[in-house]
């Protein structure tokens, strides 16, 4: 990390202090407390492909070589920021960020967990609201929030065994269908099986596809 900071500071000396590029590096130095601003800036860089103007072929190369952030972290930052902008924009307002207790400002990891929770079909609005309170009002660590989410999902599965069984069945059928398609294609290309058997396999695939709807 110390080496990354040295590289960042060296690069900052070469840039206009009013430029977006300088601003991103400045935010990267205080990454822990200013991830929202960094996420906002990186989102702009990604959307407008500005990294190409700075001599980088990809966003990954830019974040890795210039600001010392790995691809996985950069993508979580982008997704977490975009999630807030789309789903919870009031938490991006300067008055919230400036007034919130520093210990309670959610980390991007926590927002990423909330983003994943939003997409879970098994969770209802109340579950989501409870997770949001834990994150924004109590500043709960993302590892604990992730455990809470896992527990909620497990409880929903236990409360709805028929739904869980249905989902498992569909998942198994999809996997089997995918394997069957691949084997049929391989047999057709290599001519390992006679045409009538391949035709039967095609008929079986069609039946499974109808089963899935």
* 48-78 pLDDT per residue, tens: 999 999 999 999 999 999 988 888 999 999 9
Phi, psi angles (nearest 5°) of residue 141: -65, 140
Interatomic CA distance for residues 46 and 52, integer angstroms = 10
CB 78, CB 39: distance < 8 Å: yes
Place of tokens 């702009």: 44
For the four alpha carbons of 148, 150, 151 and 153, in that order, the dihedral sign comes to positive
- pTM, entire model: 0.59
CB 123, CB 153: distance < 8 Å: yes
Give the whole-number percent of the chain exceeding pLDDT 90.
21
Average pLDDT value for residue range 202-206? 87
Sketch the domain layout of the chain as residue ranges: 1-99, 102-159, 161-212
Q: pLDDT tens across 4-48, in order?
A: 566 777 888 999 999 999 888 887 776 655 788 888 899 999 999
């Amino acid at each position: 990390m110390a080496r990354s900071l040295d590289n960042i500071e060296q690069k900052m000396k070469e840039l206009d202090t009013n430029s977006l590029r300088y601003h991103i590096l400045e935010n990267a130095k205080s990454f822990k407390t200013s991830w929202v601003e960094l996420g906002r800036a990186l989102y702009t860089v990604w959307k407008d492909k500005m990294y190409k103007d700075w001599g980088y072929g990809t966003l990954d190369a830019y974040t890795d070589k210039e600001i010392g952030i790995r691809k996985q972290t950069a993508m979580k930052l982008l997704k977490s920021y975009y999630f807030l902008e789309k789903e919870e924009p009031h938490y991006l307002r300067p008055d919230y960020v400036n007034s919130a207790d520093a210990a309670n400002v959610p980390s991007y990891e926590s927002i990423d967990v909330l983003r994943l929770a939003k997409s879970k079909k098994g969770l209802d609005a109340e579950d989501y609201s409870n997770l949001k309170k834990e994150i924004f009002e109590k500043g709960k660590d993302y590892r604990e929030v992730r455990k809470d989410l896992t527990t909620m999902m497990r409880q929903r599965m236990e409360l709805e065994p028929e739904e869980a069984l249905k989902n498992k069945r569909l998942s198994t059928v999809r996997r089997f269908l995918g394997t069957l398609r691949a084997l049929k294609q391989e047999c057709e290309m290599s001519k390992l099986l006679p045409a009538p058997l391949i035709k039967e396999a095609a008929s079986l695939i069609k039946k499974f596809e109808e089963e899935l709807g």
